[in-house]
Amino acid sequence: MSGFFDIPSDLQHSWLGLVGLHLREALLPVLAGLVVSLPLAQLCVRLRWLYPPVLWVTTVLYAIPSLAFFVLLIDYTGQTELTVMIPLTVYSLVVLVPAIVDGVRSVPPETLAAATAMGFGPVRRYFQVQLPIAVPAVIAGLRVATVSSISLVSVGALIGNQGALGNLINDANIYNRPELAVNAVLSMAVLAILADALLVAVRLLLTPWMPRAGRRRPAADVPDPATAALEDAVR
């Protein structure tokens, strides 16, 4: 009788190994998404006309099923982690770009005017004023992107066991061990909750300047990421 944490050998990893793999496949795309989103969002802030088409493109890309991406990519990147991570990076843009644009735009005009009047150039102004003030919005975006990425990694199971914890769901079928599927779902949910908590902690650390009393509902229109993750994982 195999235990809850005994992973079939075809996956070539221990449970902890799968967790590490899962985190890498989920978080690197979010990081890459952030690196792409920051300049893209700044461009959208500077050139207002650019924002609607960019939003439109990110939404359309998000609507493409990951399977279609895999088919497209597999000729170039093969059955690798990269094939999983590229679509995840693209998906994260749909959350991150608007989050950063809203964050940067939330800087009060008089703060910007004051910065300009004090002799901040555009670059310095961006890094020292706009970006720090956008941190809460950026992190709110990162929370959603991270938890959704954690649940989406599982689709990698479709291309030769590149789904990390998601592969367990496949194996649950193959070996008729339903506890492996439960393990996958629970592990992903726990990872999502922990990653989310970590991001909240980072937010608190980076924004001692935020009124603590008004923190209850920081971004009313962003769904609670942890709940979203659970829903995704169960789906």
Partner 1 sequence: MFGVLIRIDSVTKRYPDGTVAVDRLSLEIPDRSITVLVGPSGCGKTTTLRMINRMVEPTEGTILLDGQDILQQPVNTLRRSMGYVIQNAGLFQHRTILDNIATVPRLLGWGKDRARGRARELMERVGLDAALAKRYPYQLSGGQQQRVGVARALAADPPVLLMDEPFSAVDPVVRKGLQDELLRIQAELGKTIVFVTHDIDEAVKLGTMVAVLRTGGRLAQYAPPAELLSAPADAFVEDFLGADRGIRRLSFFPATGLALLTTPIVAVDATAEQIAARATGEAPYLLVTDLDGRPLGWSEPHELTAGSIDPGRLLSHGRPFVPGTDSLRAALDCAVLSPTGWAVAVGADGRATGVVSQQTIAEAIRGAHAAVPTDAPAPHSLAKGGPADAKVAG
Which residues here bind partner 1, judged by CB under 8 A? 108, 110-111, 113-121, 124, 129, 132-133, 135, 207-211
CB of 186 to partner 1, least distance (A): 39
Alpha helices in the chain (DSSP H): 15-46, 51-63, 66-77, 81-105, 109-117, 122-125, 131-152, 167-174, 178-206, 225-234
CB of 39 to partner 1, least distance (A): 21
Rounded to whole angstroms, how far apart are CA atoms 101 and 44? 7
CB of 162 to partner 1, least distance (A): 41
Task: Give residue 210's region: left, alpha or beta (phi > 0; psi -120 to 50).
Answer: beta
Residues 6+ apart with CB under 8 A from 177: 2, 8, 171
In the bound state with partner 1, the residue whose beta carbon lies nearer, of 3 and 108, is: 108
CB of 156 to partner 1, least distance (A): 39
Identify the DSSP state of 177.
-
In the bound state with partner 1, the residue whose beta carbon lies nearer, of 213 and 220, is: 213
In the bound state with partner 1, the residue whose beta carbon lies nearer, of 114 and 190, is: 114
Residue 67 CA, chain-centre distance (Å), reads 19
CB of 140 to partner 1, least distance (A): 16
In the bound state with partner 1, the residue whose beta carbon lies nearer, of 1 and 117, is: 117
In the bound state with partner 1, the residue whose beta carbon lies nearer, of 128 and 173, is: 128
